[in-house]
Structure formats: C-alpha cells, structure tokens
Amino acid sequence: MGEFFKAELKDRFLEYALKRRDYFEVQVLYDEFLRPNYSLDFVQKLIKEIQEYDNGLLDIMAGNGVAMFMLASTSKTQHFLDEGGFMDMHVVEEEKWDTFLTQLSRDEKSSKGEKLLGKEKSPVLKKEKTLLIVLISAVVVSFLFTLFSLVNNAFLKPDYVPVDEFERKMEALRSHYQEENQQLEQALEKAQKTIDSLAGK
C-alpha cells in the first residue's frame, strides 16, 4: 500500500473520531474503512503510526487484553486536521522529494556538460589517447606474432632429420650393440668355464 493511501486513511480515522465525540472500539474503524480487504492488524498499525507521530491526537485506552481497545478524539485532533493533517504532510514531503530529485538531475546534467566541454577543449588529452591506443595496438600485434610463431614451430613444422645424420646415429647404435654383444659373449664364456671347472671337481 502506498504512503499516500495510508496518509488518507489516518486522516479519515481522525475525522471519524471527531464525529463520534465518545470512545469507540478499534474494530469500528476496521468495519467502516477496511473490511474485508485488509486486516485488523493493519488498522492497529496505522493507529500506532498516528500515536508515534503525536500521541496527543487520539486518546487510546487499553482493555479486553489489548493495548488499543477504545479510541476517542482529543482537543488537538481538530487543529491537526485544520492544518492539513497527514495528507498535507505527505504532499509537502513529496514536493520536497520532487524538488530534490529535479535539482539532482540538473546537477548531473550540468556536470556532464562541463565534462564534455572539458574534453572538447583539451587537444593534449586527444594526443595522449591516440598514443595510448597506438601503444596498446603495438603490444597486441607483437603478442599475436609471438603466439603464431610458437604455434607454428610446435605443431605445424615437421621435424626432419638429414640422411647423413640418420646414418651416423644408426652406425653409432650398431657399434654400441656390437660392443654389448661382445661383452655378453665374454661374460658367457667366463660363466661356462666356471661351470665346467665346478663340474670337473
């Protein structure tokens, strides 16, 4: 529910209290103004807000186990309504906010205009901006070339071995294996001699 509607209801409660000139139950306000769309708790909440604003606007009596049971107008009620009541207070508050927001938007527009004027007047800033863009572009291009060369070397170029180098490596492997074979044959002969000598004994 909007604040405007709540302000109107509070004023209607006070007007009703003035007409009655005697005490009446909170339930009566609920029955008169808010049944069946709102609850009795909502009525009590609005009365509490009236009381928090000025506890002299209504005379509230406790009873029947509740803090707000019976209500009546006071000498201040008529004067408050003559001054405009809660509705007038709400309208004044809204006007203040509208004025504030209008002033705020004007300040923002003027500061944006000043910034735009400041940008147009400074060719040094334009030069710096251009230099910055050129520098960033150079860094990006350098990065891309480096990345391309790394990818090209790693994935795209096959790793060729010249024929003479291949033959040299093969010859080295052959000689290495021949040496190992000779060593193994010698070890085998020694082992055979040892076995024969052990068997001869």
CB within 8 A of 155, min separation 6: which ones? none
Given a cut of 60, whether residue 3 has pLDDT beyond it is: yes
Q: What is the pLDDT of residues 127-140, one digit of tens each?
A: 888 888 888 988 88
CA 76 from centroid of its chain's CA atoms: 49
Structural domain includes residue 76: yes
Structural domain includes residue 100: no
Q: What is the mean pLDDT of residues 49-54?
A: 90
Q: Are 89 and 49 in contact (CB under 8 A)?
A: no
Phi-psi region of 35 (alpha: psi -120 to 50; beta: other; left: phi over 0): beta
Structural domain includes residue 118: no
Structural domain includes residue 105: no
- Name the packing angle between helices 85-121 and 3-20 (round to 10°): 160
Determine the Cα–Cα distance for residues 118 and 130; give it in Å rounded to an integer.
Answer: 17
**Residue 127, domain extent:** 123-159
Position 1 scores a pLDDT of 58
Alpha helices in the chain (DSSP H): 3-20, 26-29, 40-53, 75-82, 85-121, 123-151, 163-200
Q: Are residues 136 and 188 in the same domain?
A: no
Position 171 scores a pLDDT of 92
pTM assigned to the model? 0.48
Least-confidence region, from 11-15, 42-46, 106-110: 106-110
Count of domains for the chain: 3
Structural domain includes residue 23: yes
Position 119 scores a pLDDT of 54
Structural domain includes residue 79: yes
Q: Are residues 59 and 15 in the same domain?
A: yes
Q: What is the mean pLDDT of residues 27-32?
A: 88
Phi-psi region of 65 (alpha: psi -120 to 50; beta: other; left: phi over 0): left
Q: Are residues 192 and 137 in the same domain?
A: no
Q: What is the mean pLDDT of residues 98-114?
A: 75
Q: Are residues 146 and 176 in the same domain?
A: no
Q: What is the pLDDT of residues 155-176, one digit of tens each?
A: 666 566 788 888 888 899 999 8
Position 157 scores a pLDDT of 60
Structural domain includes residue 59: yes
